[in-house]
Chain A
């Protein structure tokens, strides 16, 4: 019992992000409205970003900005500062997410002009005609 509680306390953040990811994933593959699919993609990407950033957390850590002269003179104690690498990676991933969303919105505009609707069923109906 105690082991299970410890496991929950130690990992619950990952589980929350996994649930969030799966909400986005379900929207991407299960929803029939194209905008909802796009929103699902954004939820998925945001959940991944949260997931990565949470790997950088250190209990009691400070932000990764140090005092320049103090650092040059005496060095930095790495244990007091959170891991900067996930932040860097996720800055890049955020930009990628923004770019994909922009392109997808442009494509959605084209689809709307073509078919007059963003419901997949109605588009398929129009295609078969």
Chain B
């Protein structure tokens, strides 16, 4: 019974095992690309896409429900909002702390790291926000487009 199910849904032991092995590394690499964007090619968008691809890979090899076990729809919604809020929020925070909008050095009044270090750190913060938003939206786009909006089954 179980074998027939696995066969008809087109799932393959090799693909499943390979994906299971690859996903943690893909996620690690995605995080590396986001975090190491200051020193090497990379950044929020590129890393976010890799992180999203890890979840899409899960959905492709297993099914949509499996990928939703690792990232429930609610968490996805929170991540996408969080990502956008981090970016806009950091900008607004800079303005509230007496600087101009998105002037990260103004956050020096919050935690004194030095204005130039704050610029570097502010870029890091917003890249993380971009990464979150891009990751969750990529997964969301895949879920919706492959299932026609029901987000329960599909490719």
Contacts and interface: CB of A to CB of B under 8 A. Distances in A.
Contact of A109 (B40, B41, B43, B145): B145
B39 A65 contact: yes
Given A91-B43, A94-B45, 12 more contacts: A63-B41, A65-B39, A65-B41, A68-B39, A91-B45, A95-B45, A95-B134, A105-B145, A106-B144, A106-B145, A109-B145, A109-B148
A102 interface: yes
B33 to A, nearest CB: 13
Interface string B39-78: 1110101000000000000000000000000000000000
Nearest to B38: A68
A113 interface: yes
Interface of B: 39-41, 43, 45, 134, 141, 144-145, 148-149
A91 B48 CA distance: 13
Contacts of B145: 102, 105-106, 109
Interface of A: 63, 65, 68, 91, 94-95, 102, 105-106, 109, 113
A68 B120 CA distance: 12
15 contacts: A65-B39, A65-B40, A65-B41, A68-B39, A91-B43, A94-B45, A95-B45, A95-B134, A102-B145, A105-B145, A106-B144, A109-B145, A109-B148, A109-B149, A113-B148
A122 B134 CA distance: 37
B53 to A, nearest CB: 13
B141 A102 contact: yes
B80 to A, nearest CB: 13
Contacts of A63: 41
